Amino acid sequence: MKYFLIALPREDMEHCIKVGIYGLSRKQVISKVSRGDKIACYVTKEYKVIALGEAISDYYIDDEPVFRTPGMYIDRFKFSVGKLAPELNFMDFIDRLSFIKNQAYWSVYLRNGIVEMADKDWALLETTAKK
């Protein structure tokens, strides 16, 4: 099992959660997603993790227009998540995430829209969400 954090602005993330599909126009990281992998949803500019769940499909390619912003996001996977209440403030635990190697440039690690995390990063998100 692998763990991924996907990053989008609020409106786009809410739409992806509603349709249950996440897509990009490049497959470097997204092609590693498989059914059963864990997914965390991060809202850019608000610095919030708003949902946790899992991939319900393997990576696939599809050009059906399902996203609200223009673009051919053909590299996709289906997912199902539960919204968090309260949402998690990313800045509260950013210094404990292992995939962020340089705290001064933390946003660079989220620039591609998806990042693979270590199992201990996922455990940190789950633990923080349960508090």
CA distance 31 to 58: 8
CA distance 37 to 91: 24
Provide, rounded to the nearest whole percent, the portion of the chain with pLDDT above 70. Answer: 100
Q: For residue 72, which phi and psi values (nearest 5 degrees)?
A: -100, 90
CA distance 98 to 14: 26
CA distance 64 to 57: 16
Q: What is the pLDDT of residue 55?
A: 98
Q: What's the count of helices (H) and strands (E) in the chain, helices before strands?
A: 2, 7
Handedness of CA 91, 129, 45, 21 (dihedral sign): positive
Q: What is the pLDDT of residues 24-48, one digit of tens each?
A: 988 889 999 999 999 999 999 999 9
Instruction: Scan for tokens 């692998």, then name that residue.
Output: 2
Based on its alpha-carbon atoms, the radius of gyration of the chain, rounded to whole angstroms, reads 14
Average pLDDT, the chain: 94
Q: What is the pLDDT of residues 58-90, one digit of tens each?
A: 999 998 999 987 778 999 999 999 999 999 999
**Among 9, 30, 22, 13, residue whose Cα is nearest residue 112:** 30
Q: What is the pLDDT of residue 27?
A: 85
Q: Has residue 131 got a pLDDT over 80?
A: no
pTM across the whole model: 0.94
Q: What is the pLDDT of residue 26?
A: 81
Mean pLDDT for 46-60 is: 98
